[in-house]
Amino acid sequence: MTSLAGFGVPSLLAALFFAGVSLVLCLVGATRSSERATAAGRRAMAMCFAATGLAVVALLTALFAHDFSLAYVAKYSSRSLSGPYMFGALWGGMEGSLLFWTLLLTGFSTVALERARASTPRLVAWAGAVLAGVACFFLMLLVLPESPFTALLPVPADGTGLNPLLQSPGMLIHPPLLYTGFVGFSIPFAFAMAALLSKRLDASWFTSTRRWTLFAWSALSIGIVLGGAWAYTELGWGGYWAWDPVENASFMPWLTATAFLHSVVIQEKRQMLKVWNVSLILLTYALAVFGTFLTRSGILSSIHTFTEGPIGKWFLPFLALMLLGGLGIVLARLNELKSENRFDHLMSRESAFLANNVLFVAAAFAVLWGTIYPILAEVTSGVRLSVGPPFFNSVFIPLGLAIIGLTGIGPLISWKRMSKGAFGRVVRVPLAMGSVTILGLFISGVRSVGALLAFGLCAFTAGAILGEFSRGSRVYRTRYDVGPIRALTATIDRNRRRYGGYIVHLGVVLIVIGLAGGAFKTERHALLSKGESMSVGGYTLTYRELRQSSSPEKQINTAVVDVASDGHDQGSIYPQRNFHLAQRQPQSEVAIRTGPIEDLYVVITSFDQDGDAALRAFVNPLTWWIWVGAGVMLSGMTILLSSPGPARVRARVPREIREPAAATR
Amino acid sequence: MKAMVIATLALVVATAAPALANAEDVANDISEHVMSPYCPGVTLHDCPSDRAVELRDKIKDRAEEGFTRAQIMSELEAEFGPTIRAEPPRSGIGLLAWILPLFAGLGAATFAWTILRKWARPPDRPEDYDPDVHVTTEDRRRLDAELAKMRGPA
């Protein structure tokens, strides 16, 4: 062994020990109201994090030292793998990704428990127990069936190397962000369960974890978009979302978490939907763990799925315990979870939020159902069938469009109640924008009903949101007599939660515009000899030559393709078809010329000894807006995360308890 | 305004029709509706395998020969089995895949509507009732007037 890998197994055993200690101490702290035990449990969690960190350092040093005496290092790295991708190799295989997951879990748990220690001790104690229990489960996986430190004999001279598709800058960011999202939901989940267990069912559990929820949701959102960007630039099929089971696994918790982020506002403002909110965060975390199970059990076939492993049978009992235990405790606390208020009127923002929640949960259910249906059908009837993108598009797109419509309606309606007349006044401008957009597109020749509705609803929602910005800054300008830019920035700054949320919504609208552009994509495929041309969209592509070169990792074959549009020369693009030596695997590198109107996307699918090349070319309208929308979302998330937390809702304690002196006077 | 929106949508729905211009568009559309026999869990359109490229070319050839979409799909199903279709059939066991999300969605919507109606305050409250802030009708009128003044002319 030429590295610190020898520290790996002892570190994992130590981490498991400290997680167990933390679990016991936090349980003692919770059941005996012992703050000392809780504080010791918190410290044990910090030690667990430190030991897990040491295990990660051990694996990283083994990767960088090319210590092929470890099976993991031999399988997921090679001598020619460049430095940054050694970090990618850390989460490129199942065992390493579980280790990374556990590092995040113990790290987040340490920080969350430390930050929340000032709040109710019993809440923190129960949350600590839940988090330590989850950490015990993942550390047991790492110690027993999926150790990244398993020895390999005989020791090979070189490793197999990381999958070439994973050797992309996006893959250095996308998986950590997804894991951050998945693991981040552990914190609100643990505090929700702690609230139920400790009967502390006021707002403290979600005010303590509001930033964690937003942080996890933001990381998952950006992670999902980056996954799409990776697929678009690396996989070479001209798209970014394939309703692949693993994509679905990340999308389902995103949908329920988005519902939670909206419905928790109702609890915050009106002390309503308490059962719904704890159920939603339970469902979100269960779906995150279920996604991990799907990814690692080998039960579903997917381009992303890790090879079939033995850990599926570990995940199912854990998932069942979490779901049944969580639902059981929710049912046991139904009386304490009764709403303190009622809806005042059907025409209210509360109703819009509830409708939005129903749509998000229905969408999550539709995606879950489509993902698991092939297994259910085969198990129950022996019939094998496929559920692919056409099914998901048919089921999800109507729900998605309804959600976009509600995104526009929500901000227009006031809390508690709104008269029809008042609603009519605020909705007419956005409605006109939507209708004019549909008519304009229709007159200009667009005939896709889905695209027309999507663009119309996007215009409606954008109009509604921009109207909110306009109204807000106009009030500020009227009051303080300042310029429009100053008024706008001050308006956002004074209410970052509200306007940060609107900016996120604007980002979503831009993403939907980009997605709707997919209805107009053009695709052509041709086998070309040097000097021959093909047409796609308004472009003429002329294949000039094939240039060959090599690097230590791969043989590189670059096609020089001249681009012309309407007879005008537009320069050249350079798609590649490379052969990775360690993996003996070909891989295409896409050439993309991107812009706000459309992307020209060219891939070499094959070439022969004479240098003839098969080119696949796409013109993808408006795809650029997906990435711009993600950037806008990110800026909105940053504003949201920078906002001060909601004023802590005072626990509804009777006056004589809250003010004993006054009561006894 | 309502009439304008309904008229717009009616016009769009009545006259919209998908149009696939040529054989290659038909072939691309088919490849998006069948699973790849060579890449598990991926449609033929998205599969990077060389054999997938050959199968896409074969579908294109069929389309150029004048075979209809249904004929090509049947031919693929005969060759590769029913799992080649990327969506479950709308009959038998496959029907459940389609109708359950529909029923679940309708059920959830009905449940939400029922909850909303149940939770909405009974109509015997005074018109100007507000549990937290006691605002009279006169206050509301003044507030509306001030807001209208602030918004400026419509």
- Model pLDDT for residues A595-624, shown as the tens digit of each residue: 999 999 999 988 888 889 999 999 999 999
Alpha-carbon distance B123 to nearest alpha carbon in chain A (angstroms)? 9
Q: What is the pLDDT of residue B31?
A: 95
- The residue written with tokens 């850390």 in the block is A90
pLDDT of residue B137: 75
Residue B41 has its nearest CB partner, among A244, A385, A474, at A244
Closest chain A residue to the Cα of B147, Cα to Cα: A475
Cβ-Cβ contacts under 8 Å, A606 against chain B: 50, 53
- pLDDT(B135) > 80: no
Percent of all residues in chain A with a pLDDT value above 90, rounded to a whole number: 58
Instruction: Give pLDDT tens digits for B21-30.
Output: 688 889 999 9
Structure-model confidence comparison of residues A392 and A650, the more confident one: A392
Of A498, A501, A496, A492, which Cα lies nearest the Cα of A473?
A492
Cα angle A4, A9, A14; round to 5? 110
Distance from CA of A292 to the nearest CA of B (A): 17
Judged by CB atoms closer than 8 Å, whether chains meet at A354 and B82 is answered as: no
Identify which has the larger pLDDT, B134 or A180: A180
- Over 50: is that where the pLDDT of A307 sits? no
CA dist., res. A135 & res. A141, Å (int)? 10
Q: In the prediction, which pLDDT does B130 show?
A: 57
The partner residue sitting opposite A449, judged by closest CB among B16, B60, B82, is: B16
3-state secondary structure at position A549: strand
Residue B5 touches partner A, C-beta closer than 8 Å: yes
Specify the pLDDT at position B2. 56
Chain B: residue whose CA lies nearest to A522: B25
| Cross-chain Cβ contact B112/A358 below 8 Å | yes
**Residue whose C-alpha is closest to residue B87's, from B41, B38, B39, B34:** B34
| B3 part of contact set with chain A, CB < 8 Å | no
> DSSP letter at A70?
B
Tell me: the pLDDT tens digits for A628-643?
Answer: 999 999 999 999 999 8
pLDDT confidence of A658, banded at 50, 70, 90?
very low
Q: In B, which residues are within 8 Å of A275 by CB distance? A: none
A58: Cβ contacts below 8 Å, ≥ 6 apart: A3, A4, A5, A6, A7, A8, A11, A149
Question: Under a CB-based contact definition with an 8 Å cutoff, are residues A627 and A620 in contact?
Answer: no
* Closest-CA residue of chain A to B125: A344
- Indicate if the pLDDT at residue B141 is higher than 90: no
Annotate B111-150 with b (16+ C-beta within 10 A) or e (fewer): ebeebbeebbeeeeeeeeeeeeeeeeeeeeeeeeeeeeee
pLDDT of residue B79: 94
Contact state of A358 with B108 under an 8 Å Cβ cutoff: yes
Tell me, what's the pLDDT at A203?
A: 79
Taking the CA of residue B66 and the nearest CA in chain A, the distance in Å comes to 19
- A583-592: Cβ within 8 A, 24+ apart: A583/A160, A583/A161, A583/A163, A583/A164, A585/A164, A587/A164, A587/A165, A587/A554, A588/A236, A588/B48, A590/A232, A590/A233, A590/A234, A590/A236, A591/A561, A592/A232, A592/A233
A55 pLDDT more than 70? yes
Which residues in B lie closer than 8 A to residue A302 (C-beta atoms)?
40-41
CB atoms within 10 A of CB B78: 10
Contacts of A362 in chain B (CB under 8 A): 101, 104-105, 108-109
Contact A431 B115 (CB under 8 A): no
Size of interface A-B (CB pairs under 8 A): 175
Q: Shortest CB distance from B150 goes to which of A301, A438, A478? A: A478
Per-residue pLDDT averaged across A83-97, rounded?
87
Is residue B111 scored above 50 in pLDDT?
yes
**pLDDT score recorded for residue B114:** 84
Residue found under tokens 């609803």: A457
Measured CA to CA, the distance from residue A31 to residue A125 in angstroms comes to 9
B151 Cβ under 8 Å from any chain A Cβ: yes
Q: Is the predicted pLDDT of residue A654 greater than 50, yes or no? A: no
CB contact at 8 A, A260 and A254: no
- Out of A389, A391, A428, the one facing B32 most closely (by C-beta) is A389
| pLDDT surpassing 80 at residue A500 | yes
CB contact under 8 A, B12 and A438: yes
Mean pLDDT of B35-40: 90
Q: Is B145 within 8 Å of chain A by CB? A: no
Substitution target from A358, A367, A416, A452 for chain B, most B beta carbons within 10 A: A358
Query: What's the CA angle centered on A451, arms A447 and A456, to 5 degrees?
Result: 105
For the whole model, what pTM was predicted? 0.87
**Using 50, 70 and 90 to split pLDDT, how confident is the model at B122?**
low
Nearest to A606 among B32, B50, B85 (CB): B50
A184 CB-contact burial (10 Å; exposed 0-12 / middle 13-18 / buried 19+): buried
Between these two residues, A598 and A159, which has the higher pLDDT value? A598
Cβ <8 Å between B88 and A385:
yes
Dump pLDDT digits (tens) for A408-463.
998 888 887 777 888 888 899 999 999 999 999 999 998 889 999 999 999 999 99
- β partners of residue A614: A527, A606
Q: How far apart are CA A508 and CA A514, in angstroms?
A: 10
As given in the structure block, the two tokens for residue A478 are 């009227």
pLDDT for A344 beyond 80 = no
Interface test with A, best of B87, B117, B132, B134 (most A CBs within 10 A): B87
A236-295 pLDDT, tens digit per residue, is 899 999 998 889 999 999 999 999 999 988 888 877 888 889 999 999 999 999 887 777
Does residue A655 surpass a pLDDT of 60?
Answer: no
Q: Is the pLDDT of residue A593 over 70?
A: yes
**B 56-95 residues with CB < 8 A to A:** 56-57, 60, 81-89, 92-94
Q: How far is Cα of residue A339 from the mean position of the Cα atoms in its chain? A: 31
Q: Which amino acid is at A262?
A: H
Of A302, A442, A471, Cβ closest to residue B12: A442
Interface test with B, best of A269, A345, A373 (most B CBs within 10 A): A373
CA distance A602 to chain B (A): 14
The pLDDT value given to residue B116: 76
- Confidence (pLDDT) at B153: 63
- The mean pLDDT of chain A is 88
How far away is chain A from the Cα of B111, in angstroms, using its nearest Cα? 9
